[in-house]
Amino acid sequence: MNLFKQLFGGSPSVDLESLIKDGAFLVDVRTPGEFAGGHAKGSVNIPLDQLPQQLSRFRNKKNIIVCCQSGGRSGQAKVILEKSGITNVINGGNWNNVAQYC
């Protein structure tokens, strides 16, 4: 169950609101078309398939919150980033879940 929560979000121990108010780097990993249809205020669009080429944008960030449509792609993004040595990543799940705190 813990692995499921790590991959797909929903962990009650993460205070998204406080992290966002503290200036977390918000990244929406959906396609540009999906992002254009709506996104959390202040988030940047870095599609999942472009993460490996964009790792420099994640370095030296205090907290990173990734989101997507359902939490699946953001779960994959979290794994990709962590395998690249970026460990301060939280899967915010659905972008609407993140947007409520922005």
Reply yes or no on whether 68 is catalytic.
yes
The catalytic position among 27, 51, 68, 99 is: 68
What's the token pair of residue 28? 């929406």
CA distance 70 to 74: 8
Q: What is the b/e burial string over 21-39, where b = at least 16 CB atoms within 10 angstroms of the residue's CB?
A: eeebbbbbbbbeebbeeeb
Q: Which residues are catalytically annotated?
A: 68
